[in-house]
Structure 1
């Protein structure tokens, strides 16, 4: 199986939005207001206006996505303005374990290097039992707590860019 990572196109919006919901459904019992959270993530494609939305495809099917937000771009207050960050890394449950999440994260790190950043940040939660260990293996370290989202605790993770 060949994974192709490319820039988001407007025609991808419905697929990306559905993928975001599908990727987070396993956590629905962890969020104290799943319907509100689901509505928020179901608009993932709108993040293309805030950064660079990348999609991963296998046989022309979108199976993963992530948003890279560069230094100086608007982002949550718990991130420093000069930090590039990634948001909403999602991988279809049917395609997990193939390295798609890591490949998308690496593409974001490449963009951070392109932007001459010294560090790269993200926020994640301990409920993310696949993603969080992957980030830690990639060299991310907990920096601070982030505000909880609908009752789920999150942390800010930072990686020095080599």
Structure 2
């Protein structure tokens, strides 16, 4: 009988930035065909820049067999996450959740979100936020399955795209059972 490899969720190390950027770009590459060439180039640059930026409170990675296979960034406000204090979000926001296409379906995204939720609770927050768009339908299904609810008041526009806000009530999140 072969042992199932264990997925380790931990903080990213600074020297791992390029590996994280590669996983993120690999994960988000599927949207290149849905976006115009210019929008994809902007999105790709934004993804890469986020890996090297300093605004994130935490950069959480998933490691399988000593290799980074997923990541998520956690910010403590809309000002930190988007440079937009007017949005009025003063609780954690996760951004750029990414799992290598070769490792999808193993629960890695759920583990990364669960860790961000756990950390949010430990910091004294009662909600966890995120933003996504309709082109990320599979991700939306995951978020809703994990208990995120639409937070219409946090919706934003990026050009013609409606970027929908979602929020998880950490006081009643079943995803935190047996974790905190």
Whether TM-score is above 0.5 comes out as yes
Question: Where does residue 164 of structure 2 map in the other structure?
Answer: 155
CA distance in 2, matches of 1:34, 1:146: 19
Question: Where does residue 90 of structure 2 map in the other structure?
Answer: 82
Contact 1:119 1:161 in 2 (8 A): yes
Higher normalized contact order (CA 8 Å, seq sep 6+, divided by chain length): 1
Return the offset for 1:72.
Answer: 8.3
Contact 1:64 1:90 in 2 (8 A): yes
Please say if 1:130 is aligned against 2:138.
yes
Residue 15 to residue 116, structure 1, CA distance change in 2 (3 Å): same
Question: Where does residue 56 of structure 2 map in the other structure?
Answer: 50
More strand by share: 1
Return the offset for 1:118.
Answer: 1.8
How many residue pairs match? The answer is 161
Contact 2:60 2:112 in 1 (8 A): yes
Task: Provide the TM-score with structure 2 as the length reference.
Answer: 0.81
Contact 2:129 2:167 in 1 (8 A): yes
CA distance in 2, matches of 1:43, 1:157: 24
Residue 48 to residue 12, structure 1, CA distance change in 2 (3 Å): farther
- Larger CA Rg, structure 1 vs 2: 2
Q: Give unpaired runs (5+ residues) of structure 1.
A: none
Question: Where does residue 174 of structure 2 map in the other structure?
Answer: none
Q: Give unpaired runs (5+ residues) of structure 2.
A: 172-180
Which ranges of 4 or more aligned residues in structure 1 deviate by more than 6 Å? none
Question: Where does residue 119 of structure 2 map in the other structure?
Answer: 111
Question: Where does residue 15 of structure 1 map in the other structure?
Answer: 19
Please say if 1:24 is aligned against 2:21.
no
Task: Provide the TM-score with structure 1 as the length reference.
Answer: 0.90
| 1:48-74 Cα distance to aligned partner (Å, 9 max, x none) | 542200110101111000011125862
CA distance in 2, matches of 1:7, 1:112: 14
Question: Where does residue 129 of structure 2 map in the other structure?
Answer: 121
